[in-house]
Amino acid sequence: MAADAKGVPAGSAFGKPQPRIDGRAKVTGRALYPSDEAIPSPTYAFLLTSAIARGRVTRFDLDEALSMEGVLDILTYENVGGEAKPPEQMSGGQATTTLQSDRIWHDGQIIGIVVADSYEIAREAAFRVHVHYEQETPSATFGSPGVDEEVRKAGEHKDYHVGNAEAAFAAAEVKVDARYGTPTQHHNPIELFTTTCIWENGKLTIWEPSQFVYGLRGNVAKQLGMDLEDIRVISKFIGGAFGSKGGATARTAWIAVAARRVNRPVKLVATRDQGFTIATYRAETRHHVRLGAARDGRLTALRHEGWEVTSRPSEYNVSGTETTARLYACPNILTKVNIVHADRNTPGFMRAPPDTPYMFPLECAMDELAAQLGMDPIELRRINDTQTDPVTGLPFSSRNLMTCFDRGAERFGWADRDPRPGSMQDGDWLVGWGCASAAYPANIAATAARVTLRPSGHARVQIAGHDIGTGAYTVVAIMAADRLGLDAGQISVEMGDTALPPASLAAGSSHTATVTHAVAKACNELRDRIARAAVASNEGALAGCDPSSLTFSASRLIAPDGASESLEEALKRITPGALEAYAENIPKGLKPDAMANLYQGKPPMSRGHGREDVTAYAFGAQFVEVRVHRRTCEIRVPRMAGAFAAGRIVNPLTAHSQYMGGMIWGLGAALLEVTEIDPRHARYVNDNIAEYHIPVNADVCQVDVIMVPEEDSEVNPLGVKGIGEIGIVGVNAAIANAVWHATGRRIRALPIRIEDLL
Ligand code: MOS
């Protein structure tokens, strides 16, 4: 309807705080996560994983394990190697291979699968398999002997060259030239990595927590050489993902193979420690940042080079220079990303995949520049703010970075900050205040949706989207309620199943923008048909009205003069049954083949920094107070504030939680989180959630979230930018900058620990 073109939803549900429609199911245990599915006569798988990081398997002794009662099968490369290809990665290239050959690529690689009548027997049998290896010396990470470094291949990644950054840096009046690092991190979703497979008449059903069921289906079809139509993937609820359940990993196809071999359903629930090596993680990064500026603070040169660890066979990388190159006005920009191959499992997305590790160095360097200039760090950002993408020259669809800084600074009380490091003290505590910018591209994908209006006036929405805990079911319900003039409680939503209309992945903060547009489109089609039927009927109250003038509200169709008819009555004018609409939405910037690609499992994503008309980003400003104990150097974070401008907020209630969760995660990333690697064995040491530290309630005090209103009709028709990632983006740097302000010490590698300050 006309209102959509202007990006103004006509209904009342959009933008109102709405409790989760699936909240009751979740707290009463009725929400079924994939491994909860009750399946007939299940068998249980236990993964055998490699005890070395590099080399090959020379022999398996399976006899002892196979002789145990209840053991049904043990898969190794020797008996199944040719049955499945390795999965393809979304970023291109292969994930590390597993049962295809005797080759060991990383510690904890899947080298066998034991299948038994019970989980306990499978686990015990796995311990009785004796594996013989030929071991080579592994290379663990940056600087290990034997790592291969390559400049990432062009075409896949754009290295930006604007002006002449080298010359401008050499000539700059004020310079920052510093190196930074971020560590290996693992998502550790509470729900473990699980896969359940059932074959029936040559058709395969997979229950697996997934951020992209169509993608998983497409990948498994290729791996097993099957038709897409013969595979169904179901993932209705997901107990945390954060990127770790986005791409296909090796286990899925092999569990399918196992189920085919034993001719019974097979269920795998991998252990917590196995989750560190059979799924993805955030690889460690290194950065070299050079900033040149004039005395007045204007940037004259920006050079950002990054290095990322990946596995031997994969070229996976996140490449956040796409954001850091375009954050500030600067006439001379040079970026470069290098990947470093080590004997490690293949990394993947993790919350705010590129921008969490890449914005940390830039936003610390900006703080260092402000200190050198004797300038307030917010003022430095104001001087370098821009409404034009400095790389492409395109306008930003909307950019309210400085509004975020102003609102955040006001809430935080930034004006009271004494800029001298170490100057603010409270007894034995050194107090530091730091800030940083946050940014995340506004991404949106092609997606379909089906909406059915029932005779009762209730509606059902079907879309193969994914609720990874963010509140996606509720967002879909809000959108349909808004368009149809219903309450969110009158909408039932089905998601997470390839039997439903194809939807793109829940990642890259794209899901809300993606699903709302498809749902709105299907609802608009319903509205149109119902409105036309209502005005065409001779006896109705709306006879002769202009159908496009009708509003849908409180289960009624209402004319501008106040005449109205109930939705149920209007529906009956078309059909005594249910009315259904199916719509596909291909956002601006994507080609018409987007839906076909999506169906195949390739996510058709229009990325905020890849468009030809505008550059579309959400922006934010983050503020942190740290207290560093004078004697023990313990670091506390009594308060954080984040202000974000991310277009229209569909559900402020769940949005608040997303922002807050992102900020708290940032606290953990800055001060606690690290996967420790034993460099001799290229092995993760703290592969459990006892030793992998994350913040608890006692670590998190005041967290203020400010949602800066923003209208943006350029980003997409509904003006939705997405919020899942941006909350974490600036926190690392804000904390490091606050630690400097408290202590005068610049800590440029995360996490910042007591020993860094002693
Ligand atoms: Mo998100 S880390 O892009 O799944």
Mean per-residue pLDDT of the chain: 95
CA dihedral sign, ordered 386, 392, 394, 396: negative
512 C-alpha vs ligand 1 centroid, how far in Å?
A: 13
* Packing angle, helices 355-373 and 731-743, rounded to 10: 30
Reading the block at residue 203, the tokens are: 């058709």
Nearest ligand 1 atom to the CA of 246 is: 4
**Is the model's pLDDT at 154 over the cut of 50?**
no
Count of beta carbons in the 10 Å neighbourhood of residue 148: 10
Nearest ligand 1 atom to the CA of 352 is: 2
Ligand 1 lined by 665 (C-beta under 6 Å): no
Reading the block at residue 310, the tokens are: 């990946």
Count of beta carbons in the 10 Å neighbourhood of residue 78: 15
pLDDT of residue 11: 67
23 C-alpha vs ligand 1 centroid, how far in Å?
A: 23
Starting from the edge strand earliest in sequence, which strands make up the sheet with 429-441, in order?
A: 424-426, 429-441, 617-629, 635-645, 702-707
- Most ligand 1 atoms within 8 A of CB, residue of 349, 356, 726, 729 to mutate: 349
Alpha carbons 514 and 463: distance in angstroms, whole number: 11
pLDDT of residue 325: 97
Alpha carbons 458 and 568: distance in angstroms, whole number: 9
* Phi, psi (deg, nearest 5) at residue 388: -125, 130
Ligand 1 lined by 351 (C-beta under 6 Å): yes
* Phi, psi (deg, nearest 5) at residue 204: -110, 130
Ligand 1 lined by 573 (C-beta under 6 Å): no
Name the residue with higher pLDDT: 469 or 8: 469
**Is the model's pLDDT at 353 over the cut of 60?**
yes
- Length of the chain measured in residues: 758
| Residues annotated catalytic, as ranges | 725
Ligand 1 lined by 501 (C-beta under 6 Å): no
34 C-alpha vs ligand 1 centroid, how far in Å?
A: 20
pLDDT of residue 93: 64
**Is the model's pLDDT at 564 over the cut of 70?**
yes
pLDDT of residue 653: 97
Ligand 1 lined by 349 (C-beta under 6 Å): yes
In tens, the pLDDT along 281-318 reads 999 999 999 999 999 999 999 999 999 999 998 888 88
227 C-alpha vs ligand 1 centroid, how far in Å?
A: 28
**Is the model's pLDDT at 265 over the cut of 50?**
yes
* Packing angle, helices 213-224 and 251-262, rounded to 10: 60
Q: Which pLDDT band holds residue 58 (cuts at 50, 70, 90)?
A: very high
* Packing angle, helices 652-671 and 731-743, rounded to 10: 50
Q: How far is CA 208 from CA 191, 254, 267, 272, 737, in A?
A: 11, 13, 10, 16, 41
Nearest residue by C-alpha to atom 4 in ligand 1: 243
625 C-alpha vs ligand 1 centroid, how far in Å?
A: 27
Reading the block at residue 206, the tokens are: 């997979």
Ligand 1 lined by 508 (C-beta under 6 Å): yes
Ligand 1 lined by 507 (C-beta under 6 Å): yes
Nearest ligand 1 atom to the CA of 349 is: 2
Alpha carbons 216 and 556: distance in angstroms, whole number: 41
Nearest ligand 1 atom to the CA of 468 is: 4
Question: Maximum CA pair distance of the chain?
Answer: 85
Name the residue with higher pLDDT: 93 or 264: 264
Nearest ligand 1 atom to the CA of 724 is: 1
pLDDT of residue 502: 98
- Most ligand 1 atoms within 8 A of CB, residue of 443, 468, 511, 725 to mutate: 725
Query: What are the DSSP calls for 40-60, one per residue?
Result: SS-EEEEEEE-SSSSEEEEEE
Average of per-residue pLDDT across 117-143: 97
Nearest ligand 1 atom to the CA of 350 is: 2
**Is the model's pLDDT at 538 over the cut of 70?**
yes
Per the DSSP assignment, residues forming a β-bridge with 48 are 112
**Is the model's pLDDT at 97 over the cut of 90?**
no
369 C-alpha vs ligand 1 centroid, how far in Å?
A: 31
351 C-alpha vs ligand 1 centroid, how far in Å?
A: 5
478: enclosing H helix or E strand: helix 472-484
Alpha carbons 210 and 226: distance in angstroms, whole number: 20
* Phi, psi (deg, nearest 5) at residue 439: -155, 145
Q: How far is CA 756 from CA 285, 521, 638, 719, in A?
A: 19, 54, 20, 44
Alpha carbons 502 and 21: distance in angstroms, whole number: 22
Alpha carbons 135 and 132: distance in angstroms, whole number: 9
Average of per-residue pLDDT across 514-539: 95
In tens, the pLDDT along 729-742 reads 999 999 999 999 99
65 C-alpha vs ligand 1 centroid, how far in Å?
A: 39
What is the DSSP-derived secondary structure letter of residue 159?
Answer: P
Ligand 1 lined by 348 (C-beta under 6 Å): no
Alpha carbons 550 and 566: distance in angstroms, whole number: 12
Alpha carbons 215 and 505: distance in angstroms, whole number: 8
Cβ partners under 8 Å of residue 727, min gap 6: 438, 620, 642, 644, 658, 659, 660, 661, 662, 663, 665, 666
- Most ligand 1 atoms within 8 A of CB, residue of 89, 212, 350, 355 to mutate: 350
* Phi, psi (deg, nearest 5) at residue 290: -125, 125
pLDDT of residue 100: 93
- Contact of 665 with 240, CB cutoff 8 Å: no
- Most ligand 1 atoms within 8 A of CB, residue of 235, 316, 322, 351 to mutate: 351
Nearest ligand 1 atom to the CA of 353 is: 2
Ligand 1 lined by 353 (C-beta under 6 Å): yes
244 C-alpha vs ligand 1 centroid, how far in Å?
A: 8
Q: How far is CA 93 from CA 108, 497, 748, in A?
A: 20, 26, 32
Reading the block at residue 169, the tokens are: 């840096």
441 C-alpha vs ligand 1 centroid, how far in Å?
A: 12
Ligand 1 lined by 246 (C-beta under 6 Å): yes
Ligand 1 lined by 211 (C-beta under 6 Å): yes
Ligand 1 lined by 242 (C-beta under 6 Å): yes
Query: What are the DSSP calls for 533-595, one per residue?
Result: HHHH-SSSTTTT--GGG-EEETTEEE-TTS-EEEHHHHHHTT-SS-EEEEEEE--TT--TTHH
**Is the model's pLDDT at 485 over the cut of 90?**
yes
Per the DSSP assignment, residues forming a β-bridge with 394 are none
Name the residue with higher pLDDT: 87 or 125: 125
Q: Which pLDDT band holds residue 2 (cuts at 50, 70, 90)?
A: very low
Cβ partners under 8 Å of residue 56, min gap 6: 101, 102, 103, 104, 133, 134
